[in-house]
Amino acid sequence: MDIRRLGSRYASRAYTLDRCMEVYEHYYLMKFPFDEHERARPLRTSPAYDRLKELGCVFGEKAGWERPNYFRSGEPWRQAVHEQTDWGRPDYFEAVGREHLATRERAGLFDESSFSKLEVSGPGAFGLLQRLTSNDLDRAVGTVTYTSLLTRQGGIECDLTVTRLAPDRFLLITGTAWGPHDLGWIRLHMPADGSVQARDVTSSLATFGLWGPRARDILRQVTPDDVSHEGFPYMTARQIAVGRVPVLALRVTYVGELGWELYVPAEYGLTLWDTLWEAGRPFGMAAAGYKAIDSMRLEKGYRVWGIDITPDDNPYEAGLGIFVKLDKGDFIGREALLRVKQEGIKRKLCALTLPGEAGVIYGNEPVHADGGVVGRVRSGGFGYSLGTNIAYAYLPIEHARPGTQVTVEMFGAHVPALVQKEPLFDPKNERVKC
């Protein structure tokens, strides 16, 4: 029983009672995969919360945060609770598609203030993080590095980005629900001499994602700083001004488009949102939510910890071997990965495509080949740019070659699926690195 999954909100007796009562109330209710909690909301909100409401936001909830699932322009805002009454495509399918395509074709503005943000600092910070991570963090100040943190068995304990703000200060960005878990793992390995400090700074920073082919054009309307590809390369970070707001900008993406994540002290958050919104509207920018993010990240093959990657999966199986630097020196999990490298992998996380009319992929569907079950779907959904269903599953290496035909069992029917080469969308990353 890992209490890190609960978070500090359960220290409130009133919150805990509300959630416990909801469990009893809904015990015999038919549950659908995307149902949301109803009680104890709202609890944690972004500085742009009221602006999102004005735009017809349908809020989901995660780790106590009210987060934009999607938007229904011209309709009253609401909290998502029971979004489905039957199996099949939910009624928000088209709304999510509009946000997805708006981002791919023009630009999308995303409120990501719920992302967990951890600061690790001190004279021993670099040494600690270098020992915990599979990638090499020995890079210049202002670089952003994606990496896994591994168990001694080589499993993926967590994955995150590390931004080097100073020689001895790092900003780690991880999933909304995983901050306590990841911070706990870091603190578990901290030296006892006080040379490293680690703290959760999530609530002190508002975060907005600006992505899409017009993202640079939009940002240029409100900043005097150089945001060209040459002046602000991919996977770098720097301080810029956006309107009147001082911003830490990270040129990263979780949707596979040109753009930035913009971090500001929370008190600047509303002003930053308003500035970006006014600048982006002439370019056809849309407000977009987490369901659009999920659809776009599926097309790009970006992994989700806890679903696609877990402590039971190693980076080579997960297709993340490019982010492992065995030659950087010792790190936790290195010996295990050396053995994996020598012996080879027996399974691999594969991208599968299925006909769009096949239905909705929820996850955990069995994957069949050669008359038996060879895997299960880890995550899936619809790729609106590709017009097809997408699923990810670990398959035995003999079934993992692109072009291999398997079937996915969906509501009793065996639906043909094809193993594809990754990434499915923009395979040369031209849209990201332009």
For 380-434, the pLDDT digits (tens) are 999 999 999 999 999 999 999 999 999 999 999 999 999 999 999 999 999 999 9
HSE (CB half, 13 Å, CA atoms) of 253? 28
pLDDT score, position 1: 63
CA angle 68/70/73 to nearest 5° reads 110
Mean pLDDT score, 43-55: 99
- Residue given tokens 């977009």 in the structure block: 288
Domains and CATH numbers, the chain: 3-91 (no CATH), 204-283 (3.30.1360.120), 301-420 (2.40.30.110)
Number of H helices, E strands in the chain: 9, 20
User: Cα–Cα distance between 349 and 346 in angstroms, integer?
Assistant: 11
Question: Where do the H-state alpha helices sit in 388-430?
Answer: none
Specify whether the CB–CB gap between 82 and 30 falls below 8 A: no
Residue 29 pLDDT greater than 90, yes or no: no
Q: Name the pLDDT band for 107 (thresholds 50, 70, 90).
A: very high
Between CA 110 and CA 109, with CA 32 as vertex, the angle to 5 degrees is 5
Q: Indicate the angle between helix axes 179-188 and 125-132, nearest 10 degrees.
A: 110
Average pLDDT over residues 203-217: 99
Q: What is the mean pLDDT of residues 47-61?
A: 99
pLDDT confidence tier of residue 86, bands split at 50, 70 and 90: confident
The verdict on pTM exceeding 0.85 is yes
pLDDT one-digit tens code per residue, 229-279: 999 999 999 999 999 999 999 999 999 999 999 999 999 999 999 999 999
Q: How confident is the model at residue 32 (pLDDT cuts 50, 70, 90)?
A: confident
First to last CA, the chain: 45
Question: At residue 5, does pLDDT exceed 80?
Answer: no
**E strand residue ranges, 215-309:** 237-242, 245-250, 259-265, 286-288
- DSSP letters, 212-278, are STTHHHHHHTT--S--STTTS-TTBEEEEEETTEEEEEE---SSSSSEEEEEEEGGGHHHHHHHHHH
Contact (CB, 8 A) for 234 and 157: no
CB-CB contact of 100 with 296 (8 Å): yes
What digits encode the pLDDT tens for the residues 279-313?
Answer: 999 999 999 999 999 999 999 999 999 999 999 99
Q: CB under 8 Å to 89, separation ≥6 — which residues?
A: 359, 360
